[in-house]
Structure 1
Amino acid sequence: MKKDETITLGKFKQTKKKISNSQRNFMISTFSVIAFLILWEVCSYYKLVNPLFISSPLKIVEAAGALFVDSAYLNHIGVSTYEFAIGFLFALIIGIPIGIFAGWNQIFNAIINPFVSALYVTPKVALLPIIIIAFGIGITSKIVVVFLMAFFPIVMSAQKAMSTLDQNLIKAARSFTASEFQIFRTIALPSTVPFLLNGIRIGLGQGLIAIVVGEMYASTAGIGYHLTHAGQNLKTAEMFVGVAVIAISGVILTGMIGLIEKKFSSWKPE
C-alpha cells in the first residue's frame, strides 16, 4: 500500500471514530434529559414537590400550547427578540473593531484598558437604575443593557486574540517587506476569528441574561415582563414556559456558534 493511501485511510478511521463518539455523546445527552423529565414528572405526580413552586413537564407543555396560540405572548417573544438582536448587533459592530485595534495598537489599548477592565467586572445590574432613568422603560433601555452585557466579552476576546499572534510569523512577513496593513489583514485578522467566536458565544449567553433581567426590572412587554407577571399571579407553568423559551433559544444560538467555531478551530495558533 502506498504512503498516501495509508495516510488517507488513517484520516478516514479518525474521522469515523470522531463521528461515532459524537453520536454516542448525543445519545447519552438525550437519554439524560429524558430521564430527568420523567423523574420530574413522577415527583410532581406523587406530590413530592410543591406544585405551587415547581410545575410538572406535562403542565408546562400544556401551558406552552395555550400561550403559543395567544397573540399577546407571541408579541412578548417578538419584543424580546428585537431587543436582543439590535443590542447584540451593536455589540458586534462596535466591540469587534475596538477589541482588535486595542490588541494591535498599544497606545489605544492603554487609553481604553482602564475603562474596559473596570466596566467588565462591574455587575451590569447595578447600572440598570441609571439606564432606566436615561432611556426609560421602553425598548431602548433593554437594547442598551444587552449591548453592555455582550460588548465586553467580545472586546476582551479580541484583545486576547491579538496577544497570541505568532511573532515569528510577523517577523518573517516583515523580512519580506510586508507593510503593517498587509500583516494586519493577512496574519492578525485570521488569527482572531476563533477567539472572536468564543467571545461571541459568551456574549450570546450574557445578552440573553440581560433581556430577562432588564424586562423583569422595568418593562411593559417581553419574556422577562411575562415571567414577572406570571410569578405574581402564581402561574408556575407559564413561568417555566418563559424559562424554556430562553433556555432553548440559548442552546440553539450557542450550538450554531459552536459549529462555526469548529470550522475555524484550525486557525487558532498553538
Structure 2
Amino acid sequence: MSLLSKVLKIRRRESNHMTKSATQFVESGIKLNKEKKVKKDRRPLIISITSVTLFLLLWEIASRNAWINPLFISSPIEILQASVYMVQEASFWDNLKVSGYEFLAGFALAILVGIPIGVFSGWNKYFNAIVNPFISGLYVTPKVALLPVIVIAFGIGPASKIVIVFLMAFFPIVMSAQKAMVTLDQNLIKAARTFNASEFQIFKTIALPSTVPFLLNGIRLGIGQGLIAVVVGELFASTAGIGYQLTSNGQNLQTDRMFVGVLIITITGLILTFLLGLIEKRFSSWKPEHK
C-alpha cells in the first residue's frame, strides 16, 4: 500500500469518527431538548390537577364542618357514593342513552347543514345576501325563548331536543365557516388565477383546505352549546334523559344525584373538546397567516 493510500485511509477514518461524534452530539442535544420540553409541558397539567384537588378538598372540609348547607350542596364523597349506586341502575343508562341520542342527532344535523351554508355564504356574496338576514336574525334571538314553540311543534319527545341542539350548535359552526372564507390568503388566489385556474379549482384546492382549522374550532364551540341545549330542553319538557333525571332528583332534594348528572355532562364536554382540540392542533398549520 502506498503512502498516499495510507494517509487517505487514516483521514477517512478520522472523518467517519468526527461525523459519528457530531451525529451523537446532535442526537443528544435533540434528546435533551425533548426531555426539557416534556418537563415543561407537564407543569401546567400538574398545576391544574393540584388546583382541582385543593378545590375538592376544601369543598369536602366545608361540607363536613357544615359551612355549606348539605340540603343544597352535597359533599364530593357523597356525590361519588351516589354515582356508584346510580351506574348500577337501569334507569340511569336509559336516560343517558336518550340524552346521547338527542345530542348526537342534533349536533350531526348542525354540522351537515352549518358547514355547507357557512362555506358557500362566505364564498359567494349573492348566496350570502340570501341567507345572512336569517342567520343574523336567528343568532341574536334567545334560543331558550323558542323552546315553547319548539315543544308545541315537535312534542316533548326527543325530536324537540334534537331541534334545540341543532339551533344552539348551528351558529358557531356556520360562523366559523364564514370566517374561514373571509380570511383566505388572497395572494394564493391571485397566483392561481394567473395560471388560469377556474373558480371551482380555486375553491377545491385553496378555499376548502383553509376552512378546516376554523371548522374544527366552530365544532368545538358547538359541542358546549349542544350539551347545554340537551339539558335545557330536557329540563323544560321531557319524559327521559339526564335533564329529566336532574328535575326528578331536584324535586326529591337528592342533591348528590343531581351533581352526578351535572358531572356526567361536564366530563362528556371535556372529553369531546379535548379530543377535538388534539385534531385542531394537527390542522393548525393549515390556517392562513396574515403578516
**Paired position in structure 2 for 1:247:** 266
Offset at residue 121 of structure 1 (A): 1.8
**Paired position in structure 2 for 1:96:** 115
**Paired position in structure 1 for 2:75:** 56
SS in 1 for 2:161: helix
Q: Among residues 156, 162, 175, which one is paired with 1:137 in the alignment?
A: 156
SS in 2 for 1:88: helix
Q: TM-score, normalised by structure 2?
A: 0.88
**Paired position in structure 2 for 1:151:** 170
SS in 2 for 1:102: helix
**Paired position in structure 1 for 2:226:** 207
**Paired position in structure 2 for 1:237:** 256
Offset at residue 178 of structure 1 (A): 1.1
**Paired position in structure 1 for 2:5:** none
**Paired position in structure 1 for 2:57:** 38
CA distance in structure 1 between the aligned counterparts of 2:33 and 2:144, rounded to whole angstroms: 47
Aligned length: 269
Offset at residue 210 of structure 1 (A): 0.1
**CA 1:129–1:169: 2 relative to 1, 3 Å:** same
**Paired position in structure 2 for 1:269:** 288
Larger mean CA deviation between 12-21 and 128-137 belongs to: 12-21
- Matched to 1:69, the amino acid is Q
What fraction of aligned residue pairs are identical, expressed as a percent? 65
The yes-or-no answer on 1:166 pairing with 2:208 is no
Larger mean CA deviation between 16-25 and 141-150 belongs to: 16-25
CA distance in structure 1 between the aligned counterparts of 2:29 and 2:89, rounded to whole angstroms: 55
Offset at residue 13 of structure 1 (A): 6.5
CA distance in structure 2 between the aligned counterparts of 1:223 and 1:188, rounded to whole angstroms: 40
Offset at residue 123 of structure 1 (A): 1.2
**Paired position in structure 2 for 1:69:** 88
Offset at residue 145 of structure 1 (A): 0.6
Offset at residue 203 of structure 1 (A): 0.3
CA distance in structure 2 between the aligned counterparts of 1:262 and 1:57, rounded to whole angstroms: 34
**Paired position in structure 2 for 1:29:** 48
Q: TM-score, normalised by structure 1?
A: 0.95
Structure 1 spans left out of the alignment, 5+ residues: none
Offset at residue 17 of structure 1 (A): 4.5
CA distance in structure 2 between the aligned counterparts of 1:184 and 1:151, rounded to whole angstroms: 23
CA distance in structure 2 between the aligned counterparts of 1:79 and 1:7, rounded to whole angstroms: 56
Structure 2 spans left out of the alignment, 5+ residues: 1-17
**Paired position in structure 1 for 2:3:** none
**Paired position in structure 2 for 1:188:** 207
CA distance in structure 2 between the aligned counterparts of 1:120 and 1:47, rounded to whole angstroms: 44
**CA 1:165–1:241: 2 relative to 1, 3 Å:** same
- Matched to 2:178, the amino acid is Q
SS in 1 for 2:260: helix
**CA 1:134–1:10: 2 relative to 1, 3 Å:** farther
CA distance in structure 2 between the aligned counterparts of 1:34 and 1:106, rounded to whole angstroms: 52
SS in 2 for 1:52: coil
- 1:9-48 CA-to-partner distances (Å, cap 9, x unmatched) read 8877765554333211111111111111111001001111
**Paired position in structure 1 for 2:15:** none
- 1:83-126 CA-to-partner distances (Å, cap 9, x unmatched) read 00010001111111110011000000111111101111211100
**Paired position in structure 1 for 2:4:** none
CA distance in structure 2 between the aligned counterparts of 1:98 and 1:221, rounded to whole angstroms: 33
CA distance in structure 2 between the aligned counterparts of 1:269 and 1:66, rounded to whole angstroms: 51
Q: Among residues 79, 87, 93, which one is paired with 2:98 in the alignment?
A: 79
CA distance in structure 2 between the aligned counterparts of 1:184 and 1:116, rounded to whole angstroms: 23
Backbone CA RMSD of aligned residues: 1.9
